[in-house]
Chains A and B, each alone.
Chain A
Amino acid sequence: MIKTILIDDEPLARSMVLEYLQQFPEFQVLAECNDGFEGVKAIQQHQPDLVFLDIQMPKLTGFEMLELLDQQPHIIFTTAFDEFALKAFEKNAIDYLLKPIRPDRFEKAIDKFKLSFQSQTKTKIDTDKLQESLAEETLERIVVKNGAQIKIIPIHQINYLEAYDDYVKIHTNDGMFLKNKTMSSFEKQLNPKQFVRVHRSFIVKVDQLQKIEPMEKDSYIATLTTGGKVNISKSGYARLKQIIGL
């Protein structure tokens, strides 16, 4: 038996997948979810083998939801995205079904899933890479897990980012949050006019800078309006100069 969960905010879209799945009695649908929050909960509760996931959904998008999972089940995206976006999916070897979903295409996706399910190959979806190749607009918010809670941080609340092993510390007025993501992917996704990578370990929001003092040869230390201190390297200083025109 294959444990399956459907996540889509349109009931009719779910019913369509449900109907197609009736030909495959080995799939058991354990939950139908309306949004990403329900999705995260259901996935943690049921530990499904397969999830049909819509991308544009209330509260959390499909991508944001994936970022919150410690263990990803096999995902088949169901989306009405355009041709351009599909290239991004294909490039990242991700299963997707284009709405309206054709039965033959659905069967193919199921076959493909069965193959990888039987051979136990786990493919983790790299949402960073996917979002980069989707060439989405600059990041507008970051979703983090804070204990059992899900916290949505709008970009404007961020003061600065700090590298911390495999994580990034996100410093906001509400405190610090950890996100499992790389500095370079943040650097790419944040608006370059607002956020500058001033150091290997720091990305700072430009309007948070209060003063910059030289520390050693070719390196500086910046004080932020919120009181935090941030190191600035030589190349970081050059980047900063370009943005704020020192």
Chain B
Amino acid sequence: MSLLEIKNLHVKVDNHEILKGIDLKVNAGEVHSIMGPNGSGKSTLAQVLARRETYVVASGEVSYNGKDLLSMRPEEAACEGIFMAFQYPVEIPGISNAYFLRSALNAIHKYRGLDEIDAIDFLPLFREKLKLLDMDEKLMNRSVNEGFSGGEKKRNEILQMAVLEPKLAILDETDSGLDIDALRIVAQGVDAMRNPERAIIVVTHYQRLLNYIVPDFVHVLLDGRIVRSGGPELALELEEKGYGAMETEARHATPA
């Protein structure tokens, strides 16, 4: 059984169809990359998987770990092991990063019937992950993402992922706006988390991130449909030819 199985998923926003029938299978241990130009529906797919309620699923099924994902609330999905790294991490004034992360971890622990972790036990765990992402401990006492640079925000997302240890991680354009040094740190942080129990979906516009996180599968999303799937070489082909060529091919393949 696949960890994630999406069948003929149609999604609407403001009565406008964004996803027009997505089929995708992701097994534990695999890294999939979903690539596509702006407006192709990449972020919509990521948000639906994270259960953002503003997206209306018109039809289709998504099973995750044998359960119906589409009936879950966002917090349930998170507690079941789904994590989405936001394209635009949200600033939350007045809540410290450390408090937020500990609350999240404890919410998940509670859901799974595990003991809560107090502030003292949390600290060493925290420090270890901070080091992994080369982050300043000072950021932990600051409000969540408030006044963080773009790179700090993205690193903070991966830090959360490292602490919460999801079964399925979805990275929504985590590479956008990062300089090459920040990209390398973020990508290495993600790559270090690859293991046989965990699946990762990397949503990206460009191929560069995939130099560091080499995917097992690449899917090209165009206008709400996956038009091609292949191995890592597909990302390189895309980089070379651009999405335009792919669009032309797609039109020929599916005559209207």
Tell whether A pairs with B: no
Q: Chain B residues in contact with chain A, CB under 8 A? A: none
Q: Chain A residues in contact with chain B, CB under 8 A? A: none
